[in-house]
Amino acid sequence: MTADFFAEYQDVDLAQGPLRVYQAGPVGAPCVVLLHGAMLDTAELTWRHLMPVLARDRRVVAVDLPRHGGSRPWEGVLDQARMERVVEELLDHLGVSRAVLVGLSMGGGIGIGYALARPERVAGLVAINPGGLDDKRPLQWLTWLLLQCSPLLRWSARWVASPSMLRRSMVRTFARRESTRDFEALMELIGAEARRRAEHGERALDDWQIAAFGPRRMRLNHLPELPRLRVPSLWVHGQEDTLVSRAVMRQAVESAPGAVLAEIGGAGHLAPLDQPDAVAEAVVSFLDGLD
């Protein structure tokens, strides 16, 4: 059933570049746009469980973000500002005046920025373990320095594509390890994306991640802007997430007016895959409240 939702797609030529779009659900229903995370992520990977649930009574649009999945090739730097323009162009192309944005990690950071900039087009925001919420990260200067070395990051993309290395890395990433639902199918999708990234000569990390780092502080930090967020928001946090801390999530929820926090036990950074039923329940409850 999950595969059926991603068997058909539309390749859209936006002004900036190509975008692969998956759609499901009633056309006239309220629209939900799903934005996946960085690195080896794709729409089919992250939203394989959530999209079928939401599509029962909503129009659901999932996209492969630029330089992911079928959305290749793209030119230039794909930082936060440009990713927000991609969301804008996508909504315009679909003829959608307002949508709920649901984003994981990088997708969450993109969604937060777009909701702050264009609240009139956002009916609600669901940020799942979102990026873009830190003033400083561990080893800030050293990380920034390493990110300036493009040849190293391109070599890393080829190194990560090794099946044995990739499997070990993902076993550590998933909270339930190899007991994760559809683990082998997930590994096939991740492996295919790793090979695509290496074949296209892309870097191991996304421009969005690289551009977010400054030598002393993060260049991308939504936290100071959250008090002016003017859309309903749900913040979903995997309790075992080692990339986005509970403290920073609570700070975000306290800063954003009317925000709601859902903490998901037994889930790490990839919460929609670690605990798909619990994440779906939290998101559906939030959307029902908006309706």
Domain limits, the chain: 2-135+221-290
Which residue is associated with the tokens 């391109």? 154
Model confidence pLDDT, tens digit, residues 259-271 = 999 999 999 999 9
Q: What is the mean pLDDT of residues 128-151?
A: 92
Spatial distance between the Cα atoms of 171 and 197, rounded to a whole number of angstroms:
20
Closest listed residue to residue 249, CA positions, set 152, 109, 115, 146: 109
Instruction: Give the chain's length.
Output: 291
Model confidence pLDDT, tens digit, residues 52-63 = 999 999 999 999
Give me the CATH code for the 2-135+221-290 domain, please.
3.40.50.1820
Model confidence pLDDT, tens digit, residues 224-250 = 999 999 999 999 999 999 999 999 999
25, pLDDT greater than 70 = yes
What are the tokens at 253?
A: 């929820």
Q: What is the mean pLDDT of residues 30-45?
A: 98
Burial (CB count <10 Å: 0-12, 13-18, 19+), residue 150? exposed
Closest listed residue to residue 189, CA positions, set 168, 170, 209, 205: 170
Longest dimension (CA), the chain: 50
Comparing 205 with 291, the larger pLDDT belongs to: 205
